[in-house]
Amino acid sequence: MRAAFVALGLVFGSMAAGAATGITAAWAANGIDVKRGGDANVYGNCVPSLIVENKSGETIGYLQVDVVLALNDGRERTVELASSYREGAPFPIAPGQTATLKQHLDLSRALGVPCGEVKERKVSRTICETARGTACASSVSAKPSGFLMNFRRRTLLGAAGASLVAAPAIGPARAQSDFPNKTLKMIVPYPPGGGTDGLGRITAQFLGEKLGQQIVVQNVGGASGTIGSDTVRRAEPDGYTLLFNASLFVLGKTVVPSCPYDPQTDFRAIAQAGEAPLVLLANNNVPGNDYASIMAAVTKDPKKFFFALSSGGAAGHIATLAFLKRTGLPIDTIMYKGTAPANTDLMSGAVQFFMDPWTALLPLATSGRAKGVFVTSRQRTPLAPNIPTTDEVGLKDFHLSSWYGVWAPKDTPDAIVNKLAAAMAEVSKDKGFNEKTTSLGIVPTARGPKEFAAFIKEEVDTNTALLKDAGFKPE
């Protein structure tokens, strides 16, 4: 197949508060023409939609433009404008078709600032991948000029039977091997928009910068994450296909009997990326306003109360079992298929308690729609400073969390694993990475391959025993 000749150029101009102006197409011939959409179609903090016309001869599987919003107080937030998804899979843009890049992940929305607080808007990155899974454009470079960010194009050229040419590496010094010398792929085994997907995309961005190569994120959902994870297991063990997953992944066959792999033996642990402590929420009709008074009410008649569980083997499920075992409360649990339906029933009063990662539940507590009973972090979170820690309420050393990491296929060479791990160690120290993860309620971590593998083994042993003691039987 003839390799595509694709180039993408954008000019983001200054935008007056409340208006979206100044985005134009910089180059269109024989490639991808990107134009500003209608002013009425606005995403995030006054970031306009982008209209894409595919004028290349190649079907575009995924296209993404990252816009950095620089705020007046010095903070930055990133908005991803990306091609559409259908049923968790990218919706392709065929030659001659037009599509709208829509808001995929908006890290600014939680900030809640008006447009007038956005000082500058810049394009920080573009990602383009063909339907064949190959890169269809290199990264664009930027030279700031006042409020304008002018982007000069880099192209990937090809001829009949030739492969695409990768952009030159710009990251840290290379090891003796030339890895990496082309675009990497990071698979997130869940649909777009969730907490795992959000942190995975942030990790891919910063890891790619440290490696000097673009990392394209692909969402491959289904079967509690096993389909996407198995895709990585079967991939070539050359370091170019990585898995980004959450703590549920390591329980494998314990929660999904049909799971085709063993997470500890069929993958190589690269690094832990971060962890999200949990928060216990109570329905507003539950008597009491603090942990002691709430527990006193529950103890009087525990059969009146129910705990929601988002999914079997998830961090919230494990933490709930550990909490009930610790307190001895005979409270029944109800299993749901995801956080959203559990939240719905918590709000309606069908269940009275729900414990899950605070990345998903803190908005309920901070808005007053539910009571925040405690968080499982060692310190209070600045995102909800009024919620006490487990140590403060008397649950000493109850510091469970949902955690996230990077894996590679099991036969990936040591040299490549070590290079990926070293780059992840640099990511964990990066100020920008820490700011972005912290804004999501995620605490960055820096466990390398050996420490991470030992941590995983301990987690599997402990949590498997806990599930067995509770009589958990996967559906």
Q: Which residue has the higher pLDDT, 296 or 311?
A: 296
Query: What average pLDDT does the segment 231-249 reach?
Result: 94
Q: Is 36 helix (H, G, I), strand (E, B) or coil?
A: strand
How far apart (Å, rounded) are the C-alpha atoms in residues 393 and 382?
18
Kindly report the average pLDDT of the chain as a whole number.
77
Strand partners, 267: 409
Q: What percent of the chain has pLDDT over 70?
A: 73
Q: Are 193 and 32 in contact (CB under 8 A)?
A: no
CATH 3.90.850.10 fits 276-401, yes or no: no
Residue 422 has pLDDT above 80, yes or no: yes
What's residue 75's pLDDT? 72
Which of the four pLDDT bands, split at 50, 70 and 90, describes residue 13?
very low
Alpha-carbon torsion (257, 255, 272, 242), positive or negative: positive
Please report the pLDDT score of residue 9 as a whole number.
35
Is the model's pLDDT at 154 over the cut of 70? no
184-275+403-469: which CATH topology?
D-Maltodextrin-Binding Protein; domain 2 (3.40.190)
Helix (H, G, I), strand (E, B) or coil at 422: helix
Bridge pairing between strands 89-90 and 353-357:
unpaired
Residue extents of the structural domains in the chain: 9-146, 184-275+403-469, 276-401
Note the pLDDT tens digit of each residue in 371-392: 999 999 999 988 889 999 999 9
Among the residue ranges 100-104, 117-121, 397-401, the one predicted with the least confidence is 100-104
Look at residue 196 and tell me whether its pLDDT is greater than 80: yes
Query: What is residue 139's predicted lDDT score, i.e. its pLDDT?
Result: 33
pLDDT of residue 87 exceeding 70: no
Assessment of whether the complete model's pTM goes beyond 0.85: no
Quick one: pLDDT at residue 167? 33
| Integer Cα distance of 32 and 234 in angstroms | 33
Confidence band of 47 (pLDDT split at 50, 70, 90): low
Cα separation, 295 vs 232, whole angstroms: 45
Pick from 80-94, 101-115, 199-213: least confident: 101-115
Indicate the residue type of 84. S
Cα separation of 92 and 85, whole Å?
9
Residue (of 313, 407, 315) closest to 360 by Cα position: 315
Distance, in Å, from the CA atom of 86 to the CA atom of 93, rounded to the nearest integer, reads: 12
63 contacts 127 by C-beta, under 8 angstroms: yes
Angle at 428 between CA 427 and CA 432, to 5 degrees: 70
Distance in angstroms (rounded) separating the CA atoms of residues 329 and 312: 20
Query: What pLDDT was estimated at residue 409?
Result: 96
* DSSP code for 240: S
Q: What's the rounded Cα separation, in Å, for the pair 286 and 283?
A: 6
Going by C-beta distance under 8 Å and a sequence separation of 6 or more, which residues neighbour residue 66? 78, 79, 80, 81, 123, 124, 125, 126, 127, 205
Residue 6 has pLDDT above 60, yes or no: no
Q: Is the peptide bond before 180 cis (omega within 30 degrees of 0)?
A: yes
Matching CATH topology for 184-275+403-469 and 276-401?
yes
Model confidence band, residue 317 (pLDDT cutoffs 50, 70, 90): very high
8 Å CB contact between 371 and 415: no
Residue 272: predicted pLDDT:
97
How far apart CA 164 and CA 167 sit, in angstroms, is: 10
Residue 339: per-residue pLDDT: 84
How many CA atoms are closer than 13 Å to the CA of 40, on its beta-carbon side?
0
Among 136-145, 174-183, 205-214, 398-407, the least confident range: 136-145
pLDDT one-digit tens code per residue, 262-292: 999 999 999 999 999 999 999 999 999 999 9
Quick one: tokens of 211? Answer: 């490696």
Q: What is the pLDDT of residue 134?
A: 64
Instruction: Give Cβ neighbours of residue 251 (< 8 Å, ≥ 6 apart).
Output: 263, 313, 460, 463, 464, 467
Q: Which of the residue ranges 74-88, 110-124, 387-401 has the most confident prediction, judged by mean pLDDT?
A: 387-401
pLDDT in tens, 433-450: 999 998 888 889 989 999
What is the per-residue pLDDT for 149?
28
Whole-number pLDDT of residue 298? 96
Mean pLDDT of 354-383: 90
Give me the pLDDT at residue 25, please. 29
